[in-house]
Chains A and B, each alone.
Chain A
Amino acid sequence: MEPLDVSSLPALPAPMWFIQFFKVLGFVLHMIPMNLWLAGMLLAVILYPWKGFPRRWATRIGRQMPVVVALGVNFGIVPLLFIQVAYPWAFYPATILTAWFWLAIIGLLLIAYYGVYAFTFGLTDEDKPMATWRFLAGWISAALFIVLAILFSNGLSLMAAPERWKSIWLANQVAGAATGTGHNFGDSSLWHRWPMVFGMALMTTAVWSLLDSILFDRKATSEYRSWVARFSLIIGVAGAIVYASSGTGYVFGTWPKAVFDYMWSEWRLPLTLLTGISPGLVVATLLWIRYRGVSGGSVLAAVLSQVIVLSTNAISRQLVQNLELSPLVPVGQLTAKPDWGPMALFLISFGIGLVVIGWMLQQVVRAERSPSEA
């Protein structure tokens, strides 16, 4: 499509750095639970029919899944809100061209979410098999989470590829109006980026399993923790391999020269390198934990490593996205007319929210330490 006249666009209600900071922060927060439902649900339905520790692990993550999904959906609101503030001229056209796929996310998510509850309510610590329909619901949810990730990438990768809009639109329109049946499945970057997300999902699930076994699972034995360390290493290494291989394909196979030159120069070079090698940090900590045993410090190191993986990925993606959109609108030239009062309202509410949520979680920790029936 033709470039947009920047002067015709209304001013942003906050500085671009502010919008992008919260977009990236929100995305990282969203990625954690989203990763858990993407890989965790699949592993839960695979491992639940087993006996012993695999079943114990599947039961635990399965029981956590309703909260995980709720948080994932909720945290997803922030990046989507700030995307629409910063790039409405890219977000709306891309999603409208793929409208039915984009809208399907809502219906499928609803089915997947109820499937999670159906599965969760059927979980049992005993050796009894789960009712078939509940188990099937779990599998449907796991499959739908994978489909949802692809549909999401479909819309958002198209957003950053305005050069593809016209051909998709012309192939899917009635008298110029988009039929919403377009898709971006032909974009090779989509098929690299989606496995990258799945690789990160495996790593996040690996690290979460360790954190859960040491922090929340009060009944975990040292044998179980040891099993979790082995299991986390396996899925963590698998995730790192998937992430690294698809990431290599993404960078060297799909990046145009302009993007390549931009990301491999100046201060962005160390960021790009860190984004590429950060899964190695996770694998290193998982190896350390596997052979030195699970401890608070080592799990904290694993958590920090995974946060680095997710953050560097999100920041790098943001930079690439800005560059990809620059032929349409040079993002750096957008003007801002900050709305300080409402911004202060948000930041104060954010602070109060953190305090209130912190207090509530403190009560949970207390209850966990001294469980008693009221």
Chain B
Amino acid sequence: MHYPWWYVPLLTSPMLIAIIAVLHVLVSHYAVGGGLFFAFETSFAYQTGNREYLSYLRRHAPFFILLTVVFGAITGVGIWWTIGLASPLATEVLIRTFVFGWATEWVFFVIELTAAFIFYYYWGRLAPRIHQIMAWIYAIAAWISLVLITGITAFMLHSGRWLESPSFWTGFFNPQFIPQVISRTGGAILLTSLYVYLHSSLLLPNGDVRSLIVRRSTRPAFVGAVLITVGGIAWLLFLPESARLALEAAAVLTVLTVLIFALTVVVFALLYFGPYRNPGWMTPGFAASLLLFGLAAFSTGEFIREAVRKPYVVYGVVLGNQVLEKEVPDLRRNGFLQSGRWTHAYVAEHYPQAVDGGRIIPERLLSLPQQDRQQIGQVIFMHHCNDCHAAKTGYSAIGPILFSRPRPMLVDMIRHLHETHYFMPPWSGTSEEAELVADYLLTLSPERPRGIYPSLEKLETQP
């Protein structure tokens, strides 16, 4: 535990990752699928000599560049920025394990970027064959970058054989790798069609070209939808057992799983009855609705993918509270405050009377005045729990969750965190530290609403 914890009131800092990541994937998949779109469609337009279609594609290119090269690229860097701030230990593990995967991905980024700019800025100045090759280079490089990053993100959900024999290759080719590559490729293709529908419906009058675009984008959309389904089923089959259980155990995940299923059905239906059967329906309103449903399905999928990892950030390696799983026994033995570089520094600075020869003495912490005990409890809460829980109010606030729980029950629950809820990280401190956390949590817990159990209240007040 080398790293300080970043406290973001109400939201918790890891939620910033979720926000930026969702915004990013909605564009980054278009960056990949859009590459295939341009490669196939410019080839088609050149080969059929369809200048009107080529002209539309040329108008689509700046929209694509402005969205993917600017927003997509910067939010991509933004994810990296945020994971380093909100999840430094997991980021360190990932970077150390996959540094050359990331470096290779960077090479393909540079190829992508170069191809994209040449494709766009030299439109009409390159020979058609060369222009098409540029589009294909972009498409292939973009897809390879998707494959490379998916190997790393899939590892976070299921580290597979890496735990027994840690190496780049065992980590990269994890059980979730192929399912996620399939579903992400499908997502990229489907989402691109939805972006194309919206863009073309806004820019082109209803006519032959728009009809052609809609027709030509619908088959890939169905292919994408099939790939998502196949990849999604494989994703489910190859989930670690804990993640499968989480899907069933957490009500919110069950609801979201049903929601994603419903949204997927809606997108399928809209694709079939809209662009496939009735291309004329493709008005800006219809296209915008279709895109919104697609984006909603995508965002929900990303949220579920993140949530089922609990209690891990990197499965079997890094727990959600920035603790290495293998360190837990040592932390229980030596103390959470003692083992953390910053928690130790805090206690040494503010409560030197509890430190002897560099060691924090747990009994001395317990003998401190109540207010100090609560303060130290808050220190542990911040570093052990704030990854997933805000304090009094905010994201998954702990106060309302634990309301009116009696102290002994609270202490017992803290000591047996992962046994109470298996998707919680195990308690990583001493028994005394559990008492201190309980002291603090009691300050957050609101009173039980009066009148909620009238018959029991009557019973409790009877002599």
Verify that A and B bind, or say they do not: yes
Instruction: Give A178 to B86 CA distance when docked, in angstroms.
Output: 11
- The size of the chain A interface, using a CB distance under 8 A, is 73
Query: Which of B6, B109, B343 touches A99 (beta carbons < 8 Å)?
Result: B6
12 A-B pairs besides A77-B77, A353-B111, A364-B118 with CB distance below 8 A are A74-B106, A76-B77, A85-B96, A88-B91, A92-B3, A113-B74, A177-B4, A342-B101, A346-B104, A352-B107, A357-B114, A373-B124
B73 touches A73 (CB 8 A): yes
Whether a CB of chain B sits under 8 angstroms from the CB of A269 is: no
Contact of B66 among A10, A85, A117, A170 (CB under 8 A): A117
B162 within 8 A of A: no
What is the bound-complex CA distance between A343 and B81, given in angstroms?
24
Known contacts A95-B84, A176-B343, A374-B124, A339 near B115 by CB under 8 Å: no
What is the minimal beta-carbon distance from B397 to any residue of chain A, in angstroms? Answer: 15
Contact flag A110-B100 (CB < 8 Å), given A341-B168, A353-B110, A364-B118: no
- Give which listed residue, A12, A22, A103, contacts B82 with CB less than 8 A: A103
Query: Does B328 make an interface contact (CB < 8 A)?
Result: no
Are B125 and A374 interface neighbours, CB within 8 A? yes
| Shortest Cβ gap from B314 to chain A (Å) | 14
Q: Quick check: B88 and A177 within 8 Å, CB to CB?
A: no
- A316 to B116: give the CA distance in the assembly, Å: 35
Q: How far is the CA of A357 from the CA of B134 in the complex (A)?
A: 10
A349 contacts which chain B residues (CB < 8 A)?
Answer: 104, 107-108
* Residues of A with C-beta under 8 A to B368: none
Nearest CB on B from A128, distance (A): 21
Q: Are A367 and B71 in contact (CB under 8 A)?
A: no
A117/B343 in contact, CB under 8 A: no
Taking CB atoms, residues of chain A closer than 8 Å to B237 are none
Known: A175-B375, A373-B125. A106 touches B95 (CB 8 A): no
Binary flags per residue of A88-100, CB closer than 8 Å to B gives 1, else 0: 1101110111010
Bound Cα distance from A22 to B75, whole angstroms:
24
The answer on a CB contact under 8 Å between B2 and A4 is yes
Chain A min CB distance to B40 (Å): 18
A74-B110, A113-B74, A371-B125 known; A345+B2 contact, CB < 8 A: no
Question: Given A81-B103, A374-B126: A97 and B117 within 8 A (CB)?
Answer: no
Residues 344-374 of A contacting B (Cβ, < 8 Å): 345-346, 349-350, 352-353, 356-357, 360-361, 363-364, 367, 371-374
B binding-site residues for A, Cβ under 8 Å: 2-8, 13, 16, 20, 66, 69-71, 73-75, 77-78, 80-82, 84-85, 88, 91-92, 95-104, 106-111, 113-115, 117-118, 121-122, 124-128, 130-131, 134, 137, 167-169, 341-343, 345-346, 349, 375, 378-379, 381-383, 386
Shortest distance between the CB of A144 and any CB in chain B (Å): 13
Report chain B residues within 8 Å CB of A71. 113
Distance (whole angstroms) from the CB of B303 to the closest CB of chain A: 21
Contact of B379 among A67, A114, A176 (CB under 8 A): A176
Q: List, sorted by A's number, 25 A–B pairs whose CB atoms are closer than 8 Å.
A: A70-B117, A73-B77, A74-B109, A81-B99, A92-B85, A102-B85, A103-B82, A109-B74, A110-B74, A113-B70, A173-B7, A175-B346, A175-B382, A176-B4, A177-B5, A177-B379, A179-B7, A180-B7, A342-B168, A343-B100, A346-B104, A364-B122, A367-B126, A371-B125, A373-B125
Q: Mark A62-81, 1 if CB is under 8 A from B, else 0.
A: 00001100110111111011
Are B88 and A92 closer than 8 Å at their CB atoms? Answer: yes
Closest to B133 in A: A363
Known: A70-B69, A113-B70, A346-B107. Contact between A176 and B125, CB under 8 A?
no
With the chains together, A328 CA to B7 CA distance in Å?
24
Which of chain B's residues have a CB closer than 8 A to the CB of A105?
A: 81
User: Is A110's CB under 8 angstroms from B70's CB?
Assistant: yes
A258 at the interface (CB under 8 A from B): no
Question: Which residues A118-156 have CB closer than 8 A to chain B?
Answer: none
Indicate whether A176 sits within 8 Å of B3 (C-beta atoms), given known contacts A13-B96, A367-B126: no
Min CB distance, B61 to chain A, in Å?
13
B118 touches A363 (CB 8 A): yes
